[in-house]
Amino acid sequence: MEGPRVLQRVLFCRLLCSQRYSLASSGVRAEVVEAFDINDVANDVYEHNFGHRPCQGNIQTLTAGDLDKYKAHAWLLSPPCQPYTRQGLQKHSADARAFSFIKILNLMQNMSFPPQMLFVENVVGFEVSDTHDQLLAVLSTLSFNTQEFILSPLQFGVPYSRPRYFCLAKQESMCFPNPSVNDKLLRTPTCLTLNTTRTQNSYDQNEDDLEVVCNPIRNFLEAQSIGDKESSAIISDCKYSYYRYVKGTGSVLVTSKSLKPVPKENLEMSSLSELGLRFFTPREVANLHSFPPSFRFPDQISLRQQYAMLGNSLSIAVVAPLLCYLFAET
């Protein structure tokens, strides 16, 4: 698949570090014209790694003219996920945290230089929300073709279960490499790498039907932890509150090297202590997100803040091929 030959102007909104690293990993020739995030910590980390302070103003105060001045070919958007999470109230567009994204959609319709391509990421559940309906309605009005995905790092060789929703959109004058799956929601990355001769049914496989071969967990551990026992082939999603809480926030690592199997019905506190459980370190969580070794946190960022930021990050292993596909010229 051939990447773009011309320099693309790109605008980011939220989850900036993982978006920026994904863009770099994709091989797309791009100039980042601006990045927006209201979070101080996220902006500190972005500035530390990329030497630029993102715009921290309220997106809801922007006008169509403000966005026109960037003349960005592509927007990469990660709107707040809380309105759509299973644990939340699922208020969708009625949630105040959805207002900024809806404002951006409305502004697109009044711009003189709207983006030609759009990348939108969110949690699984966004695809059944009324905000999703508004997104597709606006894109249809502006003559965009869309292809939607629910993908996990597991499908890209990373032992990390973190399924996410993605929407790729291109103006009709710019074809996708595989236009046969326009207006479809796909659950495999097949069309990102294969040509259009594949049958439609090949895109409808479930993740469980794929022969997924993941790298071993030890490949993602820090050097001093290589001897830790690998308790599982797959790590569950490390969420925003990872490290502060144990239940429901993500996986922990078994470090015992002489562990004997214990039936679940006989599992007691004494046997749990023998497991030598520990949390994954921030560097290891970053590795599972496929952040490069050069990624660093500024000294003032606390451990809790590091885990929180990483818990909100995107998987570069997933997003990079999606961006390569989105920007590909046909």
- Of the candidates 81, 167, 191, 324, the residue annotated as catalytic is 81
Q: Could you report the per-residue pLDDT of 28-85, keeping only the tens digit for each?
A: 999 999 999 999 999 999 999 999 999 998 899 999 999 999 999 999 999 999 999 9
Say whether pLDDT at 229 is over 90: no
* % of the chain at pLDDT higher than 70: 81
In a domain, 169, yes or no: yes
For this structure, is 81 an active site residue?
yes
Q: Could you report the per-residue pLDDT of 240-255, keeping only the tens digit for each?
A: 667 666 666 678 887 7
Q: Cβ(9)–Cβ(31) under 8 Å? A: yes
In a domain, 212, yes or no: no
**Burial zone of 165 (CB within 10 Å; 0-12 exposed, 13-18 middle, 19+ buried):** buried
Helix H segments across the chain?
A: 16-26, 40-50, 64-68, 99-108, 130-141, 269-274, 282-288, 303-311, 316-327
Looking at the structure, tell me whether residues 180 and 279 fall in a common domain. no
The stretch 132-140 carries a mean pLDDT of: 98
Distance separating alpha carbons of residues 275 and 297, to the nearest angstrom: 30
Strand stretches in the chain, DSSP E: 8-13, 30-36, 74-77, 117-123, 144-151, 160-161, 164-171, 185-186, 235-236, 252-254, 277-279
CATH number, domain with residue 145? 3.40.50.150
Q: How many domains in the chain?
A: 2
Strand-pairing partners, residue 9, are 31
Label residue 142 by pLDDT band (50, 70, 90).
Answer: very high
Label residue 263 by pLDDT band (50, 70, 90).
Answer: low
Looking at the structure, tell me whether residues 293 and 319 fall in a common domain. no
In a domain, 209, yes or no: no
Looking at the structure, tell me whether residues 235 and 150 fall in a common domain. no
What are the tokens at 185? 């929601």
Which pLDDT does position 107 carry in this prediction? 97
Which pLDDT does position 25 carry in this prediction? 97
Which pLDDT does position 200 carry in this prediction? 41
Which pLDDT does position 241 carry in this prediction? 67
Looking at the structure, tell me whether residues 180 and 84 fall in a common domain. yes
In a domain, 121, yes or no: yes
Quote the domain boundaries for residue 256.
Answer: 217-311
Looking at the structure, tell me whether residues 62 and 36 fall in a common domain. yes
In a domain, 153, yes or no: yes
Is the pTM higher than 0.85? The answer reads yes
Looking at the structure, tell me whether residues 117 and 222 fall in a common domain. no
Q: Could you report the per-residue pLDDT of 145-187, keeping only the tens digit for each?
A: 999 999 999 999 999 999 999 999 999 999 999 999 999 999 9
Window from 127-136, 250-259, 290-299, 308-317 with minimum mean pLDDT: 250-259
In a domain, 1, yes or no: no
Looking at the structure, tell me whether residues 187 and 259 fall in a common domain. no
The stretch 90-107 carries a mean pLDDT of: 95
Distance separating alpha carbons of residues 41 and 307, to the nearest angstrom: 11
Looking at the structure, tell me whether residues 133 and 184 fall in a common domain. yes
Q: Could you report the per-residue pLDDT of 110-129, keeping only the tens digit for each?
A: 999 999 999 999 999 999 99
Label residue 201 by pLDDT band (50, 70, 90).
Answer: very low
Q: Cβ(115)–Cβ(103) under 8 Å? A: no
In a domain, 208, yes or no: no
The stretch 316-329 carries a mean pLDDT of: 96
CATH number, domain with residue 278? 3.90.120.10
Say whether pLDDT at 7 is over 80: no
The rounded Cα 327 to chain-centroid distance in angstroms is 17
Looking at the structure, tell me whether residues 250 and 323 fall in a common domain. no
Which pLDDT does position 275 carry in this prediction? 74
Looking at the structure, tell me whether residues 171 and 261 fall in a common domain. no
Between strands 160-161 and 277-279, the pairing is unpaired
In a domain, 3, yes or no: no
Looking at the structure, tell me whether residues 15 and 66 fall in a common domain. yes
What are the tokens at 307? 């885990």
Q: Which of the two residues, 229 and 137, has the higher pLDDT score?
A: 137
Looking at the structure, tell me whether residues 293 and 190 fall in a common domain. no
